[in-house]
Amino acid sequence: MAEYTGAPVYFVHQSTPGAVDLVTEARSRGQEELSETCPHYLTLDETVYSERFPEWYACCPPMRSPETVAALGDRMLAGDVHTVSSDHSCYELSQKRERSQDIRQMPHGLPGVETRLPVTFTAMGRARWAGR
């Protein structure tokens, strides 16, 4: 629809390289589209759900595989991700724990206003120094 109408689009919370690739492809055709991701999609993977408190990491979209996280980081380093936002949600852990048995009822989101820049800078700096 955006291509048909010429409207710009800002895609939020992209957590897979495939989503970023679709935006990159549309941009190559002249579309005004931007990709945004969050620090947790660049640094955490689905293994957090096997930790003692998996509800701490309830967010939407969910965490992805380590391979997906690495590929998303590659897109970030290539300049295909335009914005990193916090997805800051001010839920207390007690609110998530109250509904830890039903993910559909649990509040989703992670904190991040204060940490998005240093977390992203550290993760992407390490990746670049590692030669990714």
**Active-site residue flag, 87:** yes
HEC letters along the chain:
CHHHHCCCEEECCCCCHHHHHHHHHHHHCCCCEEEEECHHHHHCCHHHHHCCCHHHHCCCCCCCCHHHHHHHHHHHHCCCCCEECCCECCCCHHHHHHCCCCCCCCCCCECCCCCHHHHHHHHHHHHHHCCC
Catalytic residue among 45, 80, 87, 102: 87
- Residue 10's DSSP bridge partners are 34
Q: 10: number of CA atoms within 13 Å, CB side?
A: 5
What residue type is 87 in one-letter code? D
Q: Which residues are catalytic?
A: 87
